[in-house]
Amino acid sequence: MFGSLKLGKFFGIDTYVHPTFWLLPLFVLIQTFGTGLTNVGFNLLFVFAVFFCVAMHEVGHALAARAYGIGTRDITLYPIGGVAMLERIPEQPWREVAVALAGPAVNVVIALALLIGLAASGFGAPWGDEPNVVERFVGPVFWANVVLCGFNLLPAFPMDGGRVLRALLALCRTRLRATELAVYVGTVVAVGMFVTGAALGELGLMLVAAFVWFVGQAELANVRMVTEARRLYGPPPPLIPSPPPLDPEAELAARRFSGLAWDPTRRVWVQWVNGVPVRDIPA
Ligand SMILES: [Zn+2]
């Protein structure tokens, strides 16, 4: 019914906002209703600033993957975080580690840049007493990046820390066994998150825990399937190399093609003269 809203392209990657994302600003609006327009605007701006950092975190994963020749279909922002849809996860452990750490690394860079920016423009640190209006905005964004980095590094597969754990386990085990162990640890962490969320009344944390468990199970099923397929049918065949480019002479000759060519979709012979189709000859 509702489509995702396209934000634009970051580094050539289509970035979308999922329809459910708007529940978050709506929630903030309800929570801060009646506290004055300034406060409401301030809180909304904070949410959008944090989700810009979430988008940049995902861009970090996407750019690291691109360095290994892996494309990203899109980045989508949900109310509980962002997802970069990589075409595939690198199977070489150190590459998976690099791609997983690139996201949190972006948050570290943003947090450092905010600290340096505050200091350079004469403002105090985000942990100072009696913050002014700039510090009151930049401070929480700084802390949000610290939390984004730390939280994503929890060893809860398929979160970033869990991916690092799986990759490190895969150094001395099969990928399947490493995934099983990482999903097991991830499930324990997810249960802890869910219980903590329930105790604190934090619905967001409970949703993240459910998401971690669900996606972890799905990825485990996928690794099991791929492993089984490889056992049965052997490794996938190498990609067919693309033909070498024609030299300019040959390409010109091909463009001037004269003769008959079979069109398989319309099931007719087509007569070409000097690279132009001139008439159909029914078979
Ligand atoms: Zn991440």
pLDDT at 243 over 90: no
pLDDT at 283 over 70: no
| pTM to 2 decimal places | 0.75
Q: How far is the CA of 62 from the centre of ligand 1 (A)?
A: 10
pLDDT at 54: 93
Bigger pLDDT: 193 vs 131: 193
Answer positive or negative: Cα dihedral of 67, 71, 74, 78: negative
- Condensed to tens digits (0 to 9), the pLDDT of residues 84-143 reads 888 888 889 999 999 999 999 999 999 999 988 888 877 766 666 666 667 778 888 999
Percentage of the chain with pLDDT > 70?
Answer: 91
Q: How far is the CA of 266 from the centre of ligand 1 (A)?
A: 48
How many other CB atoms are found less than 10 A from the CB of residue 86?
19
Torsion angle of C-alpha atoms 119, 121, 126, 132, degrees rounded to 10: 150
Q: How far is the CA of 267 from the centre of ligand 1 (A)?
A: 50
Q: 241 Cβ partners below 8 Å, 6+ apart?
A: none
pLDDT at 215 over 60: yes
Token pair 């979160």 is at which residue?
159
pLDDT at 19: 86
Give the three-class secondary structure for 132. Answer: coil
Q: How far is the CA of 73 from the centre of ligand 1 (A)?
A: 16
Q: How far is the CA of 54 from the centre of ligand 1 (A)?
A: 8
* pLDDT bucket at 1, cuts 50 / 70 / 90: very low
pLDDT at 200 over 50: yes
Asked if omega into 244 is within 30° of 0 (cis), the reply is: no
d(CA 40, CA 34): 8
Q: Which residues surround ligand 1, an ion (CB under 5 A)?
A: 103, 152, 160
pLDDT at 49: 93
As to burial, measured by CB atoms within 10 angstroms (0-12 exposed, 13-18 middle, 19+ buried), residue 42 is: middle
Q: How far is the CA of 109 from the centre of ligand 1 (A)?
A: 14
* pLDDT bucket at 159, cuts 50 / 70 / 90: very high
Question: In the predicted model, what is the mean pLDDT of residues 165-182?
Answer: 94
pLDDT at 213: 93
Q: How far is the CA of 96 from the centre of ligand 1 (A)?
A: 12
Note whether 155 and 95 are within 8 A (CB): no
Q: Give, as one character, the DSSP assignment of residue 244.
A: P
Q: How far is the CA of 181 from the centre of ligand 1 (A)?
A: 20
* Mean pLDDT (the chain, rounded): 87
Picking from 205, 208, 165, 207, the residue whose alpha carbon sits closest to that of residue 184 is: 165
